[in-house]
Amino acid sequence: MSDKYKVIVVGMGKRGMHHARAFHDNGRFELAGVCDVDPARLDAAAGFRTAKSRNALELALAVKPDVFCFCTLPHIRTEMIRTAIKAGARLIAFEKPVALTSREGMEIRKLLNESGTKAVVSHQHRYGKHYRRVKEIVASGALGHIHTIYATASGWMFHMMSHLIDYMRWYNGNTEAQWVMAQATGDGKLSDSHPSPDYIGGFIQFENGVRGIIECGAGAPDVPEVDYWWRKCRILVQGSDGFAEVLTGGGWRAVTMTGAFAGPGCMSYDLDMPPYVQDIARWLDDDRNVHPCNFESAYAGFEIMMAFCRSAVEGGQVLLPLAQAADELAMLRAYLAGRTAQLATAAHLKEYVRVEEKMVGVRS
Ligand SMILES: NC(=O)c1ccc[n+]([C@@H]2O[C@H](COP(=O)([O-])OP(=O)(O)OC[C@H]3O[C@@H](n4cnc5c(N)ncnc54)[C@H](O)[C@@H]3O)[C@@H](O)[C@H]2O)c1
């Protein structure tokens, strides 16, 4: 009998292939099956000599995996969680975002808690050496008393904000948030597979007094140090004695009382996935080795994102943790209809429609 953890990967698109490769290449795991509803995607995964299926439940019940990994688009999270639990998986590894509404996020959390299933959410950028360097600098005390963390991304909310909040929370010692206040505009990306406002921004009050500031999407500033558009993300930690920042596609830098420092680093699936997957084995080996990307941590970040949406629609400060479930997506669809976002930079033209173009489109 194999002493490896059996894994199946469902959804063999871009991220499914990354996960399958990382599990396959790690000696602690046996890639026991892959699944996609699209036969072309299964063909593309032919290189993995493992069971192939177009039905996740059938595959999971046949394989009885230790780890049920799914990398589907965000609209079928609950269905996949139920499938994994039904098959008796010990750990579920899935992609951000946690869910599209707090109603679904709360349901997923309930299912995981009731079944006692471990879960991790793929906020794997934190394994980048530049991300870790900033964490080390913050933890060393070289920035003095931390008071502000600012995070920005060009990509839209359900793609990028999940990441930004996760790393902001990490740099802030996973301190709980007390409230948020936010604004949002632009209905262009509501029809995307990651349906989001074109632009959302706001503030977070953390329990330790640190101010979080986040902006995501069309109105977010360019990060000119980074060429690749999706990696135009900046997370800046400011303290009484200095600052440190990471750029997802452009290394890190810091200014402290002892000088100015900088170093390289770029988000890389090839580099970030192996340690992410290794930490899954460590957590399965020993309950004390809780994965840094554990569900509870991701859920705390997810609640902040949902609170941003509620504040943007309803106004005012939204208290955390959220007491009631809601359908934030429906709220956003109603609120954002007909609203347009101004672009912060021409760099965003490739992904967002400029206001004037949209008006021309409406007229023609
Ligand atoms: N962590 C990261 O750095 C990162 C980066 C990119 C994307 N993502 C996330 O990964 C997820 C997937 O993104 P992607 O770019 O790989 O998408 P993708 O469209 O390339 O792949 C999704 C796959 O799921 C398959 N699928 C859909 N329904 C299915 C079902 N019921 N059973 C089996 N397969 C099914 C589709 O056919 C498709 O092949 C998204 O949630 C996205 O936000 C994360």
What would the pLDDT profile of 240-295 be if each residue is shown by its tens digit? 999 999 999 999 999 999 999 999 999 999 999 999 999 999 999 999 999 999 99
Distance 181 CA to ligand 1 centre (A): 31
CA of 46 to the centre of ligand 1 (A): 18
What is the β-pairing status of strands 118-121 and 91-94?
A: parallel
C-alpha of residue 73 to centroid of ligand 1, in Å: 4
3-class DSSP state for residue 297? helix
Rg (CA), the chain: 21
Q: Among 15, 42, 80, 96, say which to mutate for ligand 1: greatest number of ligand atoms within 8 Å of CB.
A: 15
pLDDT at 17 over 70: yes
Residue position matching structure tokens 């953890």 = 5
- Collapsed DSSP state (helix, strand, coil) of residue 144: coil
What's the rounded Cα separation, in Å, for the pair 171 and 149?
A: 8
Å from CA of 164 to ligand 1 middle: 19
34 and 12 Cβ atoms separated by less than 8 Å: yes
Rounded (10°) angle between helices 295-314 and 157-171: 120
By the 8 A CB rule, do 82 and 107 touch? no
- Alpha-carbon span 49 to 252, nearest angstrom: 40
Task: Map residue 31 onto helix, strand or coil.
Answer: strand
187-228 confidence digits (pLDDT tens): 999 999 999 999 999 999 999 999 999 999 999 999 999 999
Q: What is the phi/psi pair of residue 246, to 5°?
A: -115, 140
**Residue written as token pair 């740099």:** 171
- Ligand 1 pocket, Cβ-based, cut-off 6 angstroms: 10-16, 35-38, 41, 56, 71-74, 76, 95-96, 122, 124, 159, 194
Residue 355 pLDDT: 58
